[in-house]
Structure 1
Amino acid sequence: MSIWKSEQSQSPMSDSAPQAPASQSADAVNRLKKIDDDLREVLLRKHNEEPAKSIGLRQKLKDFTGRKGAKSLIAILVALALGWIPLQRLLATTSAEATVNARLINVRAPIDGEVSLIAPTISIGTEVEAGEKLLHITNIRADRGRLDDLRRTINALTTDMHASEKRVAQLKGIEANLVEQRNAFQEGRIKQLEARASELEVQVSSAEAMHEDARQAMERAKKLNVTGSQTIATLLHAERDFKTSQLAIEAAKIRIEGNKIELEAAKKGLFVGDSYNDLPRSAQRLDEIRQQILDASARVEENKGRLTYLEQELATESELFSSHSTSDIAAPVRGRIWDTLTARGEEVRTGQDLLRILDCAGAVVTATVSESVYNKLWVGQPAQFRLRGERKDYSGRVVGLTGLTAAGSNFAIEQTALTREPYHVTIAVPALAERQECEVGRTGQVTFDTSASAERGTNIKTADTTARRS
């Protein structure tokens, strides 16, 4: 029993050495089996040499042998269990070395200017959140010529518009006076024509009375001429007076019609006469003032339209000038400051590198594998990653197979630094990016899912067969 205990204590499958080779585990199992067989032979030899012992002694020997066999079997099972775990790991498809990696984001200056700090501290290793403001750049030499031109133009248009508005107000005052003057003239002219119409009516009545008197005088002259009491010359004068009075009546009626026409035109605002135009001076002046009001109002509206457009241009130019004169530099992603390439008060140029930020939210695992392992991998293959010192496995997928050439990207840890095996693999592990800590730089081991590889090969073969049949 002491030999068995010694062998068990020296077994390489104990918890203190989980990484022992498979050959040592097999040797330990063989030794345990040999010890068990030796014990059985000793017990059986003693049993054959003492056949005359009592039945009680045989029963004890049988019980002792059964207990020892059970213990030996238990020891063998324990040794197999302890040896299977490291043996399984040795048979798994794993990486030679692996490290958590992430890309570096270069933050560049968008404008020329002087750098000032916004964040309390900007040093290597400082954690930053996406959108957090880090730096401020001020460019005192930004070109503001276009902005000043727009402001001068807007001021000139505003002044001209206000002057036009005042001019419109003044002209409207003059217009009101001229309207009042024209209305007074029109009203007086209408009254004058109405009075003249009355006068002409009286003249017609007078002419009719004179015409009647001339008719009677002509009748008397005719009678006297027949009797020889009056000369023929007197008769001719009487006939002349009769015809003249009749013409006077007709002339008076014609003057009444003309006066009526003038009165109707005057009521419409038109004035007909020989000594003036169709409109009085006040009406003509009123038309001129109204034309000036229209011109000034149109100028006001034009200035308003131009001001609206120029104010929009001014707002756009102000934003452009602001973006060219000042700029806040914010962290594009959550991560850590990897390198600072500027300092407070430094003059920088457009496109100059200011900071390098480690993109912790986009953490991946870069690993190296042997050629035999590399040829079993493909992009999209499932894998498990375990950090050194932890027991938790993180699920991931192969996203890059670059072979003997390192991935051409700005990783914080260059893949060429991994030299244990020559073939390079990149694995995306989403759970690492979700961790609050930035694990970049920590090492671990990647285990590739070979069963998934076999399943993938079966699916490809089935797809090829289906394609041929179709």
Structure 2
Amino acid sequence: MIWNHRIVRITIGLVLLVLAAIVFLPGLTGVTSLDGTVNARFATVNAPIDGAIAEAPSRVGVPVVEGQPLLRIVNARVNRETLASLRAEHNAALDRAAALRRERDELIALRQQLAARLEVYKRTTIANLEREVEILRKRVEVSQAQDVVAQVDLDRRLTLESKGILTKKLVESARAAGAATGGEVEISNMTVEQLEQKLDAVRQGIFIGDGQNDVPYSRQREDEVLVRINDLNTRIAENETRAVEVGKQIAEESNRVDSLASATVFASFDGVVWSSNIVNGSNVLLNNELMRVLDCRELFVDILVPEVDYDEIYVGRTAEVRLFGRGDVFKAVVLSVRGGSAIIEKDAFAANQPVTTARSARIRLSLAPSTLNSDFANFCQVGRSVQVRLSKHDVGIKKWIESLWFSIS
């Protein structure tokens, strides 16, 4: 019988030994996981304002590039009452400032007229006073001449009195006449000085006279107009300042209204539309989820391995990843190592994570950049099952013996 041949038995033994080596050698030289899944994060696009979708949004599976418009929302029911009120207040301030400027211009013209009238009055008054001074000076000259004549007559009569020709009464009469002419000269000189002082005051713009103020009516009226002009300048400045401030508020309110009336959402990175909850014309509310965009820039894989190999796997360790059904092998690096009971986030991932079992560690590996990152037509292979292998530095016989001794002791 063929089974009794020595060569056949040796051959069968060698085949069984090779089969055993094939079965157990991968487990001795490394860690292999068959429950891995290609995964990635996605960005949730929420409604920035209330309104309705104005244009057809990007469909599921459509690749998007950074800066590309994803959707546009229009809100025709934005409250514009505050903006209208500010614009009315701004226009009112400008109208008040314009009206005050017109009034100021009219007063400036009136002031110029009053100044012209005052100048004419001043020149006329100066000319009249100068003539009066000249006339008085002529009178002084006449009075001085008469005083000289009176003094000569007095001297003559005194001489005749000393000779007994004239009486003392005639001499006293001549003395009185000389005193009168002398007084007339002094009065004329004082009057000239008074008129010259008055003339100097008029030249300085001060008018002195009986029943007059220091300035005429035109000057008083001009001063009143100047006070009013200064008041108008203050009010004009206040209204212009108010218009500027309201203009700033209008700009801010316009920006706010524009931001609420229309909003366009742009893609912040290259990716692909993972899901969409809207169509053209859909009504949306603020912060409602509209769509999700898959971020293919950083792909990763979550796997489960026995916790006995926890210490053999560390952050930065390299691994090999192969998609089921494909022969391509992709490089990966360990990102994190967690125990089986660790709580991790789930809502930000596009694919389900492997369900942990007892005594299993959860390992996350980052896939190196490859063609998977740009395979937008297949959603970057997110959700695809993979096989992951991490090589060991030794077979770990010593560790197995120690763990076996610990379990039976």
Shorter-chain-normalised TM-score: which range?
0.7 to 0.9
Gaps of 5+ in 1: 14-20, 27-82, 455-470
What CA distance in whole angstroms lies between the structure 1 residues aligned with 2:81 and 2:393?
70
Q: Which residue of 1 aligns with 2:36?
A: 98
Query: Could you say what secondary structure the match of 2:345 adopts?
Result: coil
Query: Could you say what secondary structure the match of 1:403 adopts?
Result: coil
Query: Could you say what secondary structure the match of 2:313 adopts?
Result: coil
Alignment partner of 2:240 out of 281, 297, 304: 304
Listed one character per residue, the Cα deviations across residues 59-83 of structure 1 (whole Å, up to 9, x for unaligned) are xxxxxxxxxxxxxxxxxxxxxxxx7
| 8 Å contact from structure 1 (residues 399, 427) kept in 2 | yes
Alignment partner of 2:50 out of 108, 112, 115: 112
What CA distance in whole angstroms lies between the structure 2 residues aligned with 1:118 and 1:381?
46
Query: Could you say what secondary structure the match of 1:254 adopts?
Result: helix
Alignment partner of 1:257 out of 193, 198, 213: 193
Matched AA of 1:344: N
Of the structure 1 ranges 417-426 and 213-222, higher mean CA displacement relative to structure 2 is found in: 417-426
In structure 2, do the counterparts of structure 1 residues 276 and 401 end up closer, same or farther at CA, with 3 Å as the change threshold? same
In structure 2, do the counterparts of structure 1 residues 233 and 416 end up closer, same or farther at CA, with 3 Å as the change threshold? farther
Alignment partner of 2:383 out of 420, 425, 441: 441
What CA distance in whole angstroms lies between the structure 2 residues aligned with 1:247 and 1:401?
131
Deviation at 1:145, TM superposition (A): 2.3
In structure 2, do the counterparts of structure 1 residues 421 and 358 end up closer, same or farther at CA, with 3 Å as the change threshold? farther
Q: TM-score, normalised by structure 2?
A: 0.82
What CA distance in whole angstroms lies between the structure 1 residues aligned with 2:371 and 2:219?
87
Deviation at 1:318, TM superposition (A): 0.7
Q: Which structure's residues are more often helix, by fraction?
A: 1
Alignment partner of 2:330 out of 381, 385, 393: 393
Of the structure 1 ranges 297-306 and 205-214, higher mean CA displacement relative to structure 2 is found in: 297-306
Alignment partner of 1:188 out of 112, 124, 135: 124
Deviation at 1:198, TM superposition (A): 1.0
What CA distance in whole angstroms lies between the structure 2 residues aligned with 1:239 and 1:361?
133
Aligned ranges 1:30-429 → 2 under 5 Å:
87=25, 91-119=29-57, 122-388=58-324, 389-405=326-342, 407-410=344-347, 411-417=349-355, 422-429=360-367
Query: Could you say what secondary structure the match of 1:245 adopts?
Result: helix
What CA distance in whole angstroms lies between the structure 1 residues aligned with 2:17 and 2:216?
128
What CA distance in whole angstroms lies between the structure 2 residues aligned with 1:206 and 1:450?
144
Matched AA of 2:117: Q
Query: Could you say what secondary structure the match of 1:96 adopts?
Result: strand
Listed one character per residue, the Cα deviations across residues 40-63 of structure 1 (whole Å, up to 9, x for unaligned) are xxxxxxxxxxxxxxxxxxxxxxxx
Deviation at 1:430, TM superposition (A): 4.3
Query: Could you say what secondary structure the match of 1:343 adopts?
Result: coil
What count of residue pairs does the alignment treat as equivalent? 382
What CA distance in whole angstroms lies between the structure 2 residues aligned with 1:363 and 1:263?
104
| 8 Å contact from structure 1 (residues 214, 238) kept in 2 | yes
Query: Could you say what secondary structure the match of 2:212 adopts?
Result: coil
What CA distance in whole angstroms lies between the structure 1 residues aligned with 2:266 and 2:251?
24
Deviation at 1:432, TM superposition (A): 4.8
| 8 Å contact from structure 2 (residues 86, 246) kept in 1 | yes
Query: Could you say what secondary structure the match of 1:142 adopts?
Result: coil
In structure 2, do the counterparts of structure 1 residues 204 and 435 end up closer, same or farther at CA, with 3 Å as the change threshold? same
In structure 2, do the counterparts of structure 1 residues 22 and 310 end up closer, same or farther at CA, with 3 Å as the change threshold? farther
In structure 2, do the counterparts of structure 1 residues 171 and 231 end up closer, same or farther at CA, with 3 Å as the change threshold? same
Q: Which residue of 1 aligns with 2:405?
A: none
What CA distance in whole angstroms lies between the structure 2 residues aligned with 1:161 and 1:430?
69
Matched AA of 2:253: E
In structure 2, do the counterparts of structure 1 residues 326 and 277 end up closer, same or farther at CA, with 3 Å as the change threshold? same
Gaps of 5+ in 2: 397-409
Asked which structure has the greater CA Rg, the reply is 1
The higher relative CO (CA closer than 8 Å, separation ≥ 6) is in 2
In structure 2, do the counterparts of structure 1 residues 449 and 173 end up closer, same or farther at CA, with 3 Å as the change threshold? farther
| 8 Å contact from structure 1 (residues 369, 425) kept in 2 | yes
| 8 Å contact from structure 2 (residues 61, 272) kept in 1 | yes
| 8 Å contact from structure 1 (residues 96, 370) kept in 2 | no
What CA distance in whole angstroms lies between the structure 2 residues aligned with 1:161 and 1:426?
71
Matched AA of 1:94: T
Query: Could you say what secondary structure the match of 2:43 adopts?
Result: strand
State the Cα RMSD in Å. Answer: 3.4
What CA distance in whole angstroms lies between the structure 1 residues aligned with 2:371 and 2:297?
5
In structure 2, do the counterparts of structure 1 residues 340 and 415 end up closer, same or farther at CA, with 3 Å as the change threshold? same
What CA distance in whole angstroms lies between the structure 2 residues aligned with 1:409 and 1:253?
117
What CA distance in whole angstroms lies between the structure 2 residues aligned with 1:246 and 1:94?
145
In structure 2, do the counterparts of structure 1 residues 151 and 215 end up closer, same or farther at CA, with 3 Å as the change threshold? same
Of the structure 1 ranges 275-284 and 394-403, higher mean CA displacement relative to structure 2 is found in: 394-403
What CA distance in whole angstroms lies between the structure 2 residues aligned with 1:434 and 1:419?
29
Matched AA of 1:337: V
What CA distance in whole angstroms lies between the structure 1 residues aligned with 2:390 and 2:137?
128
Deviation at 1:416, TM superposition (A): 4.1
What CA distance in whole angstroms lies between the structure 1 residues aligned with 2:344 and 2:142?
128
| 8 Å contact from structure 1 (residues 406, 415) kept in 2 | no
